[in-house]
Each structure stands twice: as structure tokens, then as C-alpha cells.
A and B are shown apart, each in its own frame.
Chain A
Amino acid sequence: MIATWTPPAAASGAGAPELLLAFDRGRALRVLVCPAWFDEANKLRRFTAEVMRRLDRAGIDSLLPDLPGCNESLAPLHEQTLEGWRAAMIAAAGALRATHVLAIRGGALIAPPGLPGWHYAAQSGPKMLRGMIRARTIASREAGLAESSEALLAQGRTEGLTLGGWKLGAALLAALETAERVLAPGQSDLAQSAVGGPGLWLRAEPDDDAGQADRLAARIAQSLAGEPG
């Protein structure tokens, strides 16, 4: 079901309502989903929703809020910061009464530390940046422009940088250069090897894999049921 949630004013600059995709039947177990970022968000959107659909069938509520500046959000992306997104996810966890968190890829960088849960195929800030900058330098080279990663990063730290069409502000870019996710107490890793098959964020186009969604949802449901997950 489609609903909205309202991040704190400080997080988005405006405190405007953001989209929320929710399977919310008021059940005891409520999983906040911290989505993947940027291009990976698009590639994993359907997969994420399919995992939530399976959790619903397993009797578990799940809540996927838009980050300010991402997906359907009207807030400008270049004004967003890592700290702002962290605060937004903590606020979402409280407002939506989440009991657990499922963080996907870059979402692990902003998983609320107060919730138990899982980091699926967690991605670090430096690796994310490196991949995005490399895509830009390779595309530039094909267009006959010589851009170096170092020069782009230096420019990005002061002016912000557009990578793959995503306009990142200087503060977010600088924070990502050193951002490592932290497994808070009660949180554990769910590596891609535990789900099986190639990660869908590697696809050139958004794709779906029912088997992977089955296995990821099953691991979470088993873990919540107290079985060895």
C-alpha cells in the first residue's frame, strides 16, 4: 500500500511528506527497510518490494520510506547529507513503530543503530563512490574528455559532483569518502552468498529474481521465528 511519512524538518530542509511503501497490518513485527541508493535503488526497487510482499505473507509488516531527495521525493538531492539521512531513518523508525531494520546495500550506512536487523549485501561509502566516479571517468573518456578520479573528487569536496545523473552535494560526497557501516547490537550481515545468484544491482537494467526474493525473505522470517537463520 502507498502512504506517506514526514521526515523531521532538519533532515530534508522542508519537512515535507515523503512516499512510503508499506505492508502494514498492525502486526507485532515491523521491519523498516532502508533502501539501496541512487542507480542501485532503481535496480533493486522491484526486488525490494518482492521481499516485502513475501514478508507480508509470512505475517511480518514492512515499511519502505523514501529518503529525502530520492525516488519520488521533491526535496533537492544535492541538499541531502549523510547525517540528515541517518536522522530521517531514526525518525522513520520511531514514527512507523519499527521493531527491526532491513538495510540494503548503501542503506546499511544509515540503518538506525537502535533496531535489531540485517544488512543485506552492505556497501561502504568509499566503494560506492569509487564505482560511481569510475563510471563517470570511463564515460568521459569515451566522449573524448580526460577526467581523473582525483580531480573529480577534489572538485566534489568543494562544489559537489554529478555522478551518473545523481547530483551529490559536497557534504554528502565528503562524508561518503570515509563512511563505513556499523553493525549495531542485534544487527547481522546477510551476504549475497547467503541469498545465492548474482546480485541484482549488477544488472544493466532493473531486474527481478523470485528465487532470491524467496530466500532473503525466508532468512529474515526464520531469524524472527528464532530458528537458526
Chain B
Amino acid sequence: MTISHKLEGEALESELKGLIADVLGLDPAQAQAFGPGSGLFGHLPELDSMAVAGLLTEMEDRLGIVIEDDDVDGEMLETYGGLLAFARAKLEA
């Protein structure tokens, strides 16, 4: 998928929440209620290491970013806020 314009603000949040719900099979309402401190890896049973791989690949596709091996650490995956900050930084890079 080609992203023709940079995703920002609420559009980025909505896209990110939508793809988390899609990848993990969550109720979309549950994902839409995520706040910066909502726990992801280690908190959501759906998010195991295989699902992490799927989540990152889907983020690359839908956000038009490239995620390197070294980018992936516990901090970015621990909370929704961490993942959002990571996505934002990648889009601005």
C-alpha cells in the first residue's frame, strides 16, 4: 500500500489502533480505548512473539515505514504510548 501523505495526529492514532485490533483480533472498541499507558507486550495475552512479527510487518505496510531489527526493543512494545511514539518518530525520520 502506498501512503501518499504523512499520517499525523488522530489519523495516525486511529490507523495504529485499527491495525493492532486487526492483528490481535481485538474488539475494535477495546483498541480505540487505548491510552498512552495501556500495556501491550506482556499485558495482552494475544500479543506473543509471533504476533509481534505480524504487528511490525503490518505497521510497515500500512504506515509506509521500514522497521529494522535493532529498532525492536521492549520499550516500544511495552505500552501503546511507546508504540505510538515509535511510529511517530519513524514517520518523521
Contacts and interface: CB of A to CB of B under 8 A. Distances in A.
B48 A135 contact: no
B52 interface: yes
Contacts of A198: 21-23, 25
A103 to B, nearest CB: 18
Interface string B60-92: 110000000100100000000000000000000
A138 interface: yes
Nearest to B56: A134
Interface stretch (A89-97, A175-183, A199-207): A199-207
Contacts of A149: 69
Interface residues of B, number: 20
Contacts of A134: 53, 56-57, 69
B74 to A, nearest CB: 10
Label chain B's interface by main secondary structure. helix
A192 to B, nearest CB: 9
B22 A202 contact: yes
A131 B52 CA distance: 10
B57 A131 contact: yes
Contacts of A148: 69
Contacts of B39: none
Contact of B50 (A127, A135, A199, A207): A135
27 contacts: A130-B57, A131-B53, A131-B54, A134-B53, A134-B57, A135-B49, A135-B50, A135-B54, A138-B49, A138-B50, A138-B52, A138-B53, A139-B49, A139-B50, A142-B49, A148-B69, A198-B21, A198-B25, A202-B22, A202-B25, A202-B58, A204-B25, A204-B46, A204-B48, A204-B50, A204-B51, A207-B25
